[in-house]
Structure 1
Amino acid sequence: MHLALVDASLATPHAERNFKREVDASLTVFNANEGEIPPPLGSPAPPPQGDGHRHFTFDGAIISGSQSSVYDDRPWIQELSRWVEGAIADNLPILGVCWGHQLLAQVLGGTVKGGSYELGYVEVEQEVDDPIWDGIANPFTVFATHSDHVVALPSGATLLASNETGVQAFRHEQVYAVQFHPEYDLQTAEAMIHSKDLPQSDLQAALDTCTEANVEAARSPKRIFGNFLDHVDALRRQPSV
């Protein structure tokens, strides 16, 4: 299985390392903020060392987190949004994580706004049964780091999970989106906390959530990636119309 990994994380090393560890599929990485946007599906790519043309044929895509905001007026965000629109129109299954969750919501017609910071290991409640939750306890513990929030879901979207801060996951047809970071390990969680320009008391409160119990509890939601790949595989096997 071949997926596009759209890394929007502004050159931090964590996203690619974490997703490559957790996602059991072949990943082609595109550093979106550096202008690397996936080509339209099926577009020819340069021949590898004269071996003939290959094509960018993806079974699905994952869009990572980012330190930017989806409503920022940046050319790469606009270009990526156009690619996402086309990929959704072509029925490509996409999983958005944190910033990717917000971008999918915005492209699909939802609303994203800045708000209070959610930082540290938090508890999330599933709202409906869905295959994306297979094997995952309810409620479940995950790491979160964001101050932007999806404040209005796209028309036709299903709320999949929430907590006191609002929307934590939704589905829109073949698209899934989660606000939290199931791919994070403890190293990434602590590094992200230390990188924030927040009062020391807020940083310490977030660090206090980095307990052995929470890190262990956050292993179960990593099943989201396997469940998403099952979703991709099921769509792949559907007969074309």
Structure 2
Amino acid sequence: MSQINLQQAVELLQTAISEELVNLEREEAQLAKLQARIARKQANVKHLQGTLDFLLSKDGEQLVQINSSVSSEFDTDKSEEVALRRESTSSEDGETPEHTSQNLDKQNFKLEIQKKRMPMDMLRPQYKQPNLRLGDIVERVLSQSAKSMTTEELTRAIYDTRSVEEFSRARNSLSVELRSGAVGETPRWIKLDRRTYASRSLHRSKQLFEASAVPVSLCLEPKNRSSVIHPIDWALR
């Protein structure tokens, strides 16, 4: 009777362990997805913070003032537009100096917005290909590099920026892609520290080299401890 109870207890424990392992795998998968979402949201917060900092700067304040002025000009109702048309047609010249100045301000603002390039417009010619996404470009650059690269180095390699402001916007856009591509069960590249990344193949090669490196103590000749043999020479022996 005691043997039957012991066998039943073992089976119950084995069943409970199997169920817990299944639950653990499920929760680990959910955790990986949650970590990826957190990383994306952190990148979004940083991008929005950068936009806010720019708007709070002197240049951003001037841009907002111009934008609000132009928006108020275009948000008039139909009755005011009709009145303006009647006033302009009743005048001899058709347009007052004040209206001419406002129209010039609007045109200058439109030209300024048109000249403001988006990060996708700053890509170097070799990366402006159909169906080539930013993640594919990053993966190609890292795989072709013989060393790890910082966010700034990747920005210079991928984008052809013309000013400090363009470089900052391109770097912020790239940072979002770098963070999202470095998380998950199978990341596209490896994040070494806060702003440094490497391809998976380079990182794997470095790990293999470090694992196979000969300790310094083994590189010493038994008879002459003062002479050190290079690890490569030791491996060739």
What's the TM-score, normalizing by structure 2? Answer: 0.27
Question: Of Structure 1 and Structure 2, which has the larger fraction of its residues in helix?
Answer: 2
Larger Rg: 2
